[in-house]
Amino acid sequence: MVVKTEHLSLARQIDLVFHELQEELSGLNSGTVFVQIRNNIIGKFGIRHHPLAGRSGSFSAEQGGLTSVQQASFRAMALESLKYKKRWTHGEISYEFCVCQGMIVVDATLESNYNMANLLIRNTRSRGDVPDQSFG
């Protein structure tokens, strides 16, 4: 049986994102996880790594990464942040994370996106008139 994304809650989709990124997160101590949302469906997601530190013509690998306990805590905070998403359906959520003194610290940024053309069409239909063409 194939499950369609539009049948999954946004929380379940976030859960799937963290499952998919598990291996990558296990090699990072900091960065930004992002999810792009359209019609309450996650399309693109991934991790923006913090700049790699280069010295003498080479890059050094980060030491360690997020443990399974830190990843579980991160995932729980990401799910908790969804309580602050109000009626918008399009946008992006970014989770900037780092490990400080053994604890994971997460800052969530919720970005809502709206489309003026959709707003004008919706308002025109509700009022039954033609949109104002004077601004364009």
In a domain, 57, yes or no: no
Read off the pLDDT of residues 80-119 as tens digits, 9 standing for 90 and up. Answer: 999 999 999 999 999 999 999 999 999 999 999 998 887 7
> What is the total count of domains within the chain?
1
Pair of tokens at residue 20 = 């998919």
pTM exceeds 0.75: yes
In a domain, 134, yes or no: no
Residue reference for tokens 């780092």:
98
pLDDT score for 62: 64
Read off the pLDDT of residues 10-62 as tens digits, 9 standing for 90 and up. Answer: 999 999 999 999 999 999 999 999 999 999 999 999 999 876 777 788 877 66
In a domain, 111, yes or no: yes
Domain containing 97: what range?
5-51+62-127
Q: Are 28 and 49 spatial neighbours (Cβ–Cβ below 8 Å)?
A: yes
In a domain, 71, yes or no: yes
In a domain, 16, yes or no: yes
In a domain, 132, yes or no: no
